[in-house]
Structures are given as structure tokens and as C-alpha cells.
């Protein structure tokens, strides 16, 4: 069963802000700065589509994909193009999007993380952007919250027990060294961002 973190956009956003502090907005702003005006973006594991407003301001077309029907339904209600999608079993649309973006979600696919990055590179027209936590963010919440929520980290298809640290993420992304255009940390060093270019 889906955990409380993923049951409502407002609960999700509150918990994200508590664990990232100002890093949450910084991450969205810095990722949106990497995207050229007027391009087309596919946001895989979009959650509540928090990137959408920043991209829409730049005339960027946006589609969000997520397993979570609650987030997808809520996004559609707000006029955002969003679709229910399971990245573990479904193919990405090929050659339709200039950027394929995945924020704070790659850890859920460990040990199939490399395969997922390769699939995004294969499907994009030009770039892939990955922003990934390099620490378990639940551990950064107040102790009592982290105890409760740590047990309930389940997006709907089972618990996600793994996470990256700086070393393991650097190792994974080292396999895509020739694709790397830019790499940086967000404010507070909670996430690392990679801009990758298709071969
Ligand atoms: C930590 S949230 C990140 C959401 C958003 N990208 C953000 O940065 O706020 C992870 C998201 O991945 C989605 N997810 C988990 N497994 C998935 C899968 N197999 N296919 C598609 N989405 C998935 C969850 O439903 C959840 O919305």
C-alpha cells in the first residue's frame, strides 16, 4: 500500500520542504535553468509536478509521468499534462522530448539504476537531467517523523529501501562520463545534479 508521503500533494510538499529546507526550491530553480526556453520536457517520476510552474514560465512544454494515480489525477485537475506510467514495465516515448528529467527518484530503481539512465538517454532527443539525493532525506526529518515515515517509504509498488551517497552516485554516473556536460550540488549538498547529453 502507498505510504502517507505519496497520498497527498500537500503532505508530500510539506515533508520535502522539511527535509530539504531551502534546498528544495534551489533544486527546482537550478534544474529549470538548465532547460532551454521553448523546449519539450518529459518529467519521469514527476510526483506532484513541482517543476511544472518554473518550466511553464519559460514557454517549455511539459509532460509528467508517474506511477501514483493520486498525483497524476491531481496534476490533471490543475491543467498539467500528466499520465500514469510504470517505468519498471513501460517504455518511454522515444524522440519526442528535448529533455528527459528525473528528480529525486533514481534510488527507487536500484539495482536497475544504470538501465534506467540508459533508457532515458536512448529515449531523449538531446538531454537527460538527473537530480538525486546523496543521503537518505527521511533521516533528516525530525526524529519522530523519520521513524514513522522511514517504515512507510512506499510509492505504491513496494518499499524502496536503497539510497545513493556521493560515492555510489558518482560511481554510477562515471559509467556515463562521456555524456556528462555539467554536474553540481544543490544548496545544502543534499542532492547532486547531472546534465547528460545524448551520444
Ligand atoms: C521522491 S518522489 C519524487 C517526485 C518528484 N520527482 C519530485 O522531485 O518531487 C518519487 C516519485 O517516483 C514515483 N515512482 C516510484 N516508482 C515508480 C515507477 N516504477 N514508475 C513511475 N513512477 C514511479 C513515485 O510515485 C513518486 O511520485
Report residue 184: phi and psi, to 5°.
-155, 165
Residue-level pLDDT at 2: 66
Residue-level pLDDT at 18: 84
Q: Assess whether the C-beta atom of 45 lies below 6 angstroms from ligand 1.
A: yes
Mean pLDDT of the chain: 90
Q: What is the arrangement of strands in the sheet containing 82-84, beginning at the earlier edge strand?
A: 82-84, 61-66, 40-44, 99-103, 127-133, 191-197, 180-185
Q: Are strands 180-185 and 127-133 parallel, antiparallel or unpaired?
A: unpaired
- Cell numbers linked to 111: 539495482
Calpha distance 100→41 (Å, rounded): 6
Mean pLDDT of 40-46: 98
Residue-level pLDDT at 141: 60
In the reported structure, the alpha carbon of residue 95 is separated from the centroid of ligand 1 by a whole-number distance in angstroms of 22
Q: Assess whether the C-beta atom of 132 lies below 6 angstroms from ligand 1.
A: no
Mean pLDDT of 78-93: 98
Q: Which atom of ligand 1 approaches the CA of 12 most closely?
A: 9
Mean pLDDT of 56-61: 97
Widest distance between CA atoms in the chain: 46
Could you tell me if 24 and 16 are in contact, meaning their C-beta atoms sit under 8 angstroms apart? Answer: yes
Cβ neighbours around 12 below 10 Å, total: 19
Q: Assess whether the C-beta atom of 88 lies below 6 angstroms from ligand 1.
A: yes
Q: Which domains does the chain have, with CATH numbers?
A: 4-197 (3.40.50.150)
Instruction: Report the alpha-carbon angle 62-65-39, nearest 5.
Output: 20
Task: Using most ligand atoms within 8 A of CB, pick from 11, 47, 137, 186 the residue to mutate for ligand 1.
Answer: 47
Residue-level pLDDT at 79: 98
Q: What's the pLDDT tens digit per position in 21-36?
A: 878 889 999 999 999 9
Contact residues for 83 (Cβ-Cβ < 8 A; gap 6+): 63, 64, 65, 72
Q: Which atom of ligand 1 approaches the CA of 50 most closely?
A: 9
Q: Assess whether the C-beta atom of 47 lies below 6 angstroms from ligand 1.
A: yes
Q: What is the pTM of this model?
A: 0.90
Calpha distance 5→150 (Å, rounded): 10
Q: Assess whether the C-beta atom of 94 lies below 6 angstroms from ligand 1.
A: no
Q: What's the pLDDT tens digit per position in 97-109?
A: 999 999 999 999 9
Q: Assess whether the C-beta atom of 155 lies below 6 angstroms from ligand 1.
A: yes
Amino acid at each position: 500500500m502507498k505510504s502517507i508521503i505519496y497520498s497527498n500533494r500537500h503532505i508530500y510538499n510539506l515533508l520535502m520542504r522539511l527535509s530539504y529546507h531551502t534546498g528544495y526550491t534551489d533544486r527546482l530553480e537550478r534544474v529549470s535553468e538548465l532547460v532551454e526556453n521553448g523546449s519539450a520536457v518529459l518529467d519521469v517520476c514527476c510526483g506532484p509536478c513541482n517543476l511544472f510552474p518554473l518550466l511553464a514560465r519559460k514557454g517549455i512544454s511539459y509532460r509528467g509521468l508517474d506511477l501514483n494515480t493520486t498525483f497524476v489525477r491531481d496534476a490533471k485537475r490543475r491543467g498539467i499534462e500528466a499520465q500514469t506510467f510504470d517505468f519498471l514495465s513501460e517504455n518511454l516515448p522515444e524522440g519526442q522530448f528535448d529533455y528527459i528529467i528525473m528528480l529525486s527518484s533514481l534510488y527507487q530503481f536500484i539495482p536497475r539504476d544504470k538501465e534506467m539512465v540508459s533508457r532515458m538517454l536512448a529515449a531523449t532527443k538531446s538531454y537527460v537531467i538527473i537530480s538525486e539525493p546523496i543521503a537518505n532525506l527521511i533521516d533528516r526529518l525530525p526524529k519522530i517523523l523519520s521513524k514513522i515515515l522511514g517504515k512507510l517509504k512506499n510509492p505504491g509498488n513496494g518499499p524502496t529501501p536503497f539510497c545513493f551517497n556521493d560515492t555510489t552516485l558518482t560511481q554510477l554516473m562515471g559509467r556515463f562520463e562521456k555524456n556528462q556536460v555539467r554536474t553540481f550540488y544543490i544548496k545544502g549538498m543534499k542532492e547532486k545534479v547531472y546534465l547528460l547529453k545524448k551520444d
